[in-house]
Amino acid sequence: MTSNIAQIIGLVLGGVGMILSNVVTGMPQWRVSVMAEGNLTAKGVDERWATRWEGLWSTCVKRQDVGLQCSSYTSLGSLTADLKAGRVLMSFAVGLTVLACVTALVGVLYSQCCKSYGKNCLLLTAGVTYVLAALLVLIPLTWTASNIMQEAYGPLCKGALRVETGEAIFLGWPTVLLLFVSGAILCWFNPYTPEGWAYEMSESGVHEVCVAERRTSSFILESRS
């Protein structure tokens, strides 16, 4: 009973992690740059602030007089190395979370109605896949956050320019945690122990031997008659 409840909790947490990983991948707020734009007027310098969002697939610029304008990247050359790697790693992570969610759902549903070695392998596969997806999400988050921290305290980010960590990075940390916890639950709470697997496999082997002996004996009796 405890194992079944834990598996359902792991399935729910993994599903939430899958949704959040898709959201983080599509958000443009990975890197936020705040710049001061000065316009010379009759009263002096009219200083206005412009905010630029840089994501994996699009970039947005928000100005006080124009508003928010978003567009896709025209070339990969405009992307930094961490965002380029983030594209690849997050795409693989999203695919792994979808695969793990489907595998865990099938494993949980079958474990409720029947018990076998194959159903337990599905849950283990889903758990390992969730952990692998969490690692793939963690790498670009850590890389991008580290580069932002270095730029924020660099000599260029003073006065009119400020670089900040975007909302996608902050949302990515709980995503990694949910994927890790879900994978750990599905790997740890198994319906069978290794002794149970061995017993089931040996029991199935004995059953097959008995069936073969019955068929052989019936064939001998028919040939004698």
Q: What is the DSSP letter of 160?
A: S
Domain with 105, as residue range(s), is 2-192
* Residues 69, 170 within the same domain: yes
Q: What is the CATH number of the domain that holds 39?
A: 1.20.140.150
* Residues 152, 205 within the same domain: no
* Residues 79, 152 within the same domain: yes
* Residues 99, 200 within the same domain: no
* Residues 205, 150 within the same domain: no
Query: pTM, whole model, 2 decimals?
Result: 0.75
* Residues 213, 170 within the same domain: no
* Residues 184, 213 within the same domain: no
Residue 134 contacts residue 176 (beta carbons within 8 Å): yes
* Residues 136, 210 within the same domain: no
Q: What is the rounded distance in angstroms from the CA atom of residue 7 to the CA atom of residue 2?
A: 9
Find, among 22, 63, 18, 50, the residue nearest to 168 by Cα. 22
Number of structural domains found in the chain: 2
* Residues 187, 211 within the same domain: no
What region does 39 belong to: left with phi over 0, alpha with psi -120 to 50, or beta? beta
* Residues 19, 97 within the same domain: yes
* Residues 95, 73 within the same domain: yes
pLDDT class for 206, splitting at 50, 70, 90? very low
Give per-residue burial for 129-167: e unless 16+ CB within 10 Å, then b.
Answer: bbbbbbebbbbbbebbbebbeebeeeeebeeeebbbbbe
**pLDDT tens per residue, range 70-100:** 888 877 777 888 888 999 999 999 999 999 9
* Residues 101, 119 within the same domain: yes
Find, among 185, 56, 194, 85, the residue nearest to 131 by Cα. 185
Give me the helices (H) in the chain, please.
Answer: 2-26, 81-113, 117-152, 167-188, 194-224
**pLDDT tens per residue, range 16-39:** 999 999 999 999 889 888 876 554
**pLDDT tens per residue, range 153-201:** 766 555 556 788 889 999 999 999 999 999 999 888 765 544 444 444 4
